Amino acid sequence: MVLPNDENMKFLIALLLVFFAGLANAQNIDPEFKLAAEQGKLVNEGFNRCINYVNAWMRYADSSTGLIPRNINDSKDFWNAWDAAADNYPFMVLTSSILMPDFFKETALQMLKTEQRLTSRIGKLPDTYSFSKKGFRNETIDTNQLIFGAAEYMKDGLIPLTEWLGKSPWSARMLEILDDLPRLTRVAKNIHGSWYGNSATVEVNGDLLQVLSRMYWFTGNRKYLDWAIEIADHYLNAKELPTTALDHLRIRDHGCEIISGLCEVYIATHFAMPEKRKIWKPFIHAMMDRILEVGRNEDGLFYDEVNPKNGMVLSKRLADNFGYTLNAYWFISRIDSVPAYSNAVIKALSSLNKKYRNHPWEGSSADGYADAIEGTLNLYNRESIPSAKEWLDSEIKVMWAMQQSDGLIEGWHGDGNFARTTIMYCLWKTQGIVPSEWDKDLLIGAVRTATGVKISVSTPTGWKGKLKFDKPRHKTMMHFPADYPRINQFQEWFVVEQEKSYRVKSVGSEKTTTTNGKSLSQGLPLALKAGETVYLEISGI
């Protein structure tokens, strides 16, 4: 038997003391800080997955233009507005705006400039660009494609970027497209095209209603609300109401946009034109009531497609976009005092964890999971049903498992929605707090409390930067009168008011400082040594 010498014995004792001190501290840590630390592990995985997605897709970017293709297989020769530009590229921009600052300032912005220069065909309206032709894919102009591409690019791609970034080159791109669209249409009618099915007309008009309603608030320009009213007037009457006029109503994407769009402009008139809202109210309610009556299964989830005239279910597959439609029900239940609408939200959310784990949304596509998770997150932000939280935490892992080792998800434009929803999920787990500089080993998690937020930050390698707190973006950037739930928003969790005072307490050191919301939104400086964990408690004064 070999006994340790004095130096070894001292070292061993020191290690044991550190171990037992750490064990004691771990046992004494506030449970909310423990939860925040666990959230940090999820955030680390999610953010790194998004970076890997961006890097993977850039390997397929065209060597000449730098633009990404529609997909990596049969459509790898072209960039198009309604897929590559609407569903994939924007979420490379989003990811890089939070986690990859050099890519955001250089590559992502250059891709936008290149797309503007190469794809604008009628005025600023984008058309499909072929890499091999070094020009437009179609010799002749197909105005249906231009209208649809413009509407999708704005609603699915540029709106979410504007919701997160506010005024930017991407919001400018959206406004120039929007302002040139009347060259072709103000109200889409009789649009056909095999690339997006038979619901193209209502989809385009639904897209435009959402874009126009938000751009009215964003810019303050009344012309956008007037345009939205022109479209809504076409539908909100006894003859053309979707649940009266259509014998095929899709309550999933490529159809459900008209439901959300009509409700969104209705919400706008609640604040800006109450006399118009009064005229529309019976038609909005008739549409929403009929959809609840014939469009749901026993658990309150929507079918893909119904015939609202006779009540027949045309597709019993469940719509992964259920949350997008329920967004409208939640807010209209508030402004019009209709308990049945908010009950519809609660019923659907309450069913998910019990019966819809590992549900084959869109045939188990990652895109289906992304849409279902996003919609639920949006509603959970308003109705914090515990079982819905369990479902979200379960299903995000199902979606993440679909990402391949090289960073691609499925190799098509829907990959972008994987990143969009992952970012949303991670922002929930940080309560909207993002680091000024991302490091692959950084763990940031946060938990909301009655008075503020508790934060855990740790790293095995050391980190120096700032924690940037979220603002009430709906008010400060979008200029909305209320944070109504809507597709393609990024939820607000813990937000700081610019002029309000906040107490910042470092737990352990017991150091306390006072600052204001403006300083917190610009960034709270923080430096961690290798292996260090910092616990912060922020509370309003």
Return the pLDDT at 193. Answer: 56
Look up the pTM and report it.
0.94
Looking at residue 457, the DSSP 8-state letter turns out to be E
Which structure tokens are listed for 425? 């999920």
Q: Which CATH superfamily is domain 439-469+496-540 in?
A: Golgi alpha-mannosidase II (2.60.40.1180)
Q: How many CB atoms lie within 10 A of CB 180?
A: 16
DSSP bridge pairs for 514: 503
Taking 70 as the pLDDT cut, the residues of the chain under it are 1-27, 192-198
Fill in the DSSP letter of residue 501.
E
What is the DSSP secondary structure assignment for residue 1, as one 8-state letter?
Answer: -
In this structure, what token pair is assigned to residue 522?
Answer: 């610009």
Residue pair 210/328 in contact by the 8 Å Cβ criterion: no
Contact status, residue 459 vs residue 528, Cβ threshold 8 Å:
yes
Quick one: CA torsion of 311, 312, 318, 319, rounded to 10 degrees?
-60
Q: Tell me 361's DSSP state.
A: G
Q: What is the pLDDT of residue 197?
A: 54
Token digits of residue 436: 């000024």
Q: In this predicted structure, what is the pLDDT of residue 364?
A: 83
Token pair 């937000």 is found at 495
Contact (CB, 8 A) for 433 and 470: yes
d(CA 385, CA 64): 50
- Residue of 443, 367, 420 whose CA lies nearest to 50: 420
pLDDT of residue 350: 98
Tokens matching residue 290: 């009929």
Q: Are strands 129-130 and 125-126 parallel, antiparallel or unpaired?
A: unpaired
Residue 133: closest CA among 84, 82, 65, 194: 65
CA dihedral 132, 133, 136, 141 (to 10 degrees): -130
Residue 212 has what pLDDT?
A: 98
Secondary structure (DSSP) of 147-202: HHHHHHIIIIIIHHHHHHH-SSHHHHHHHHHHHHGGGT-SS--S---TTS-TTHHH
pLDDT, position 401 = 98
Domain locations in the chain as residue ranges: 51-185, 439-469+496-540
C-alpha–C-alpha distance, residues 470 and 492, integer Å: 7
Residue 227 has what pLDDT? 98
Q: How far is CA 435 from the centre of its chain?
A: 19
The pLDDT value given to residue 192: 65
What's the token pair of residue 83?
């897929």
311 burial (CB, 10 Å; 0-12 / 13-18 / 19+) is exposed
* Cα-Cα-Cα-Cα dihedral sign, residues 65, 71, 77, 80: negative
Amino acid 22: pLDDT: 44
CA-to-CA distance for 295 and 301, rounded, in angstroms?
A: 8
How far, in whole angstroms, is CA 374 from its chain's centroid?
Answer: 6
CA–CA separation, 532 and 448 (whole Å): 22
